[in-house]
Amino acid sequence: MSPRPSLGHYHIVSKLGEGGMGAVYRATDTKLNRDVAVKVLPDAFAADPGRLARFTREAQVLASLNHPNIAAIYGVEEGALILELVEGPTIEERIAQGPMPVDEALALASQIAEALEYAHEKSIVHRDLKPANVKVTPEGRVKVLDFGLAKAMAEETVSTDPTASPTLTMRSTQAGVILGTAGYMAPEQARGKAVDKRADIWSFGVVLYELLAGRHLYAGETVSDTLAALLTKEPDLTAVPVKVRRLIIRCLEKDPRKRLRDIGDYADLLDETSAAFQRKRPSILPWLAATTMAVTAALALAAWIWLRPTPLPPVTRFQIFAPPGSTLPLGTPAPSPDGRILAYTVRGQDRVTRIYVRALDSTESRVLPDTEGAIHPFWSPDGRALAFSAGTLKRVDLAGGAARSLADIGPQWQGAWGQTGIILLKNGAAGGGAAQVPGDGGTATPTVKLDAARGENGIEFPFFLADGKRFLTLVSHADGSQNIELATLGSTVRKVVLPGVMSAPILAPAPDGRNYLLYFRDASLMAQELDGRTGTVRGSPFVLVDGIGLVGNPPIRPAVGVSPGGVLAYQVASAASDYRLSWFDRSGKLLSELPPAAGGYSPKLSPDGRLAAVSRPAGRGADLWLVDLSRGSSTRFTFGNGGRHYGRPVWSPDGKRLAYTYAGGGIYAKDASGSGAEQELLKTGAVSVPLSWSPDGRQILFWMGSKLFLLHLGGQAPLPVDVATGAAAAQISPDGKYFAFASQDTGRAEVYVAPMPPGAGKWQISINGGALPKWRGDGKELFFLSPDLKIMAVDIQLGQGVTEGVPHALFQIGTPDGFGSVYDASSDGQRFLVASGSFAGADAPITVVLNWWAGLKGK
């Protein structure tokens, strides 16, 4: 939110900075002719009158603080906080210059203590004391900023129920019940418990240490590491002078009952020779005795800490929900490499997805500009940029600036950004394999070729190991088998890591040095330890997450992301009622919407247009249902009992049978009436997806391993369709003489038409990318989906060859997963049945697990 040039009688001059509690501006008070600071509150306050009113009441209490070491609050004006403008650096900037002389550090600390003592006497707790919230004026006076604002800006009070910790709930502007910054929180604050002035005393001890040591006391590679150290480790005070160690030890007692009770007693724990403090002490002898005892206790404590086993950090879980009015589609939530930030996609009220980022120690999330239509973001190794798919591969830098295209490769999202700076992708061009793109943009060049001698016909879903040269990938073979294998850039040498797995691989490095291979089986996220040096798994696999969501076409990529910093983020499968079917005309006007009970995805209209076959999630699998479009009712067609995944139905030309896939491998058929036994048409060890049944009923065009095949129902072996590279969707023309398909011969998906039976020659129909071709019932028009998610139409004349017109847009389909089966066209081409939620699903909250690896002890 940017302020107007003026707020009441405050004229905005310039921006000073921005943080989790809002942006801060320099302004002029035109009534009193003085400079002030204006903190513009986050948008969440403007949208919540009750919360703004409560904040105003809190601010009025805080405005009563009148102390020379506390930056004053002047008032609240139109959703902004008016503050004393404090010139000068923060002590965070001073700490960055190195250790501070003890007397200089104690002089600053004494002023901080005076400010805390004054506020505590008024029953006001700071809750977010840290070096960045303490400034030093040019005259040398300390000013403590943001006093009490952490509590004032909280959405709710801290729970005192110990059973509520450490499980947290994160909504649009609230990070559970934790108020404060990770490295300076008292243990009880980090656990979400009630806090009092002793939490400020803990923070005071941390700040004093950092002034003297010139470095952070609690600063792990990730937020979870920092919290773990804070909760489990005793501080190493060898970097600070002996004269202050007893004070810091008493401030940093993890049990608040043992902690220094009043900040006003700080001087009683210091050597009396410290000139910065002028408090009177009753006697030197008791102090010397206490010092001796404290040093002895400290030595004993240090020995105990050194010898005892290092405890594992606590496993902490919380959920992230979509901002109000938005939803979280199933996707690939992506923790940054250091585990500090989570990137994910949100579908707004305009049904367009955008990338949001949230610092895991912050109460705020923000949308990245110029990321409309984005799906599946993944991080650069340094955590400064994200790559994502939005019709083509793009990059956006967190520091700002517009997103830019990296390469013209079509709707590619199976990317991995390696430590050497290259992005590795599935190669959709002729020859297959893998291609690489520079992280700063450029031409996609082949880097890993398929090994024909091994029967390879697809390399997908790469995931780099730490060396940036080797990567895990899903390799498909001509015999239908799929394995997770270990590959190397520039080489055809592969090592089978896990055979017979129909899942994208995910490498999950843990902070303790172990690596885990994550994959799905029966829609559960499985984990198995991986030796990164030899590329072999060891031990037995175990379920890490039950009911994991799946993305892709077909869905073989778990909806999960993991960082080396120990953060795991995932989404589970959405409910079936979230998938709504709607009828639209050619202009995009909504004609009707079927009731939720008739919902589903991958809709396929029957030849007579009375029924639609759809898929719905069922437990850890999915089943097929038949929807009566006139009545709005549905009937279950397959019965997987929650464990089998049925999908992608195709009607026989007479409408009497349905063919479909079973994710365990194979194509099956059954009478549309639901009676009779299921017939096995094709048994494979790989995902095989039927796409189109020929008009004469003798053949089925199907997809397997990034290629098209023709299945002859007379019993012959499937025939490869070599004209299509990297194809995933196709349909035979109504006269049976041609078929339309989407292929990546040019490096991005385009729609083509080729003759039947498949042979030489094809005609490109789309111009700027396309997928999901659908014929009109008379074969004179072809529909397809553009990369920017519009339904396109093009006139077609079929004869001895193909004559095509110019593609033109009909309407925006508005789904984030445009390359799944999300629509079908009526026979006359005047209406379109759209799965409103798409396969990506509706709202699927993100579960974040900090220190997930610590829960694997003994597995």
Q: Tell me if residue 128 is catalytic.
A: yes
Measure the CA–CA gap between 399 and 447, rounded to whole angstroms. Answer: 31
Residue 42: asked if its preceding bond is cis (omega within 30°), the reply is no
Q: 86 with 184: CB under 8 angstroms?
A: no
Sheet holding 6-7, edge to edge: 6-7, 10-19, 22-29, 34-40, 80-84, 73-77
How many other C-beta atoms are found inside a 10 Å radius of the C-beta of residue 232? Answer: 14
Measure the CA–CA gap between 526 and 765, rounded to whole angstroms. Answer: 42
Structure tokens at 814: 């508005």
Q: 779 with 733: CB under 8 angstroms?
A: yes
Measure the CA–CA gap between 837 and 579, rounded to whole angstroms. Answer: 5
Q: 426 with 407: CB under 8 angstroms?
A: no
Summarize the chain as % helix, strand, coil (round to 5): 15, 35, 45
Nearest 10 degrees: Cα torsion 722, 740, 477, 431? 50
Decide the pairing of beta strands 831-835 and 581-585: antiparallel
Q: Hunting for tokens 């778990």 — which residue is that?
A: 558
Structure tokens at 688: 């095989």
Q: 116 with 204: CB under 8 angstroms?
A: yes
- Catalytic site residue from 48, 128, 654, 828: 128
Q: 568 with 852: CB under 8 angstroms?
A: yes
Measure the CA–CA gap between 549 and 526, rounded to whole angstroms. Answer: 13
The one-character DSSP state at 54 is H
CA 817 to chain centre: 16
Residue 681: CB partners within 8 Å, gap ≥ 6? 659, 666, 667, 668, 669, 700, 711, 713
Residues labelled catalytic? 128
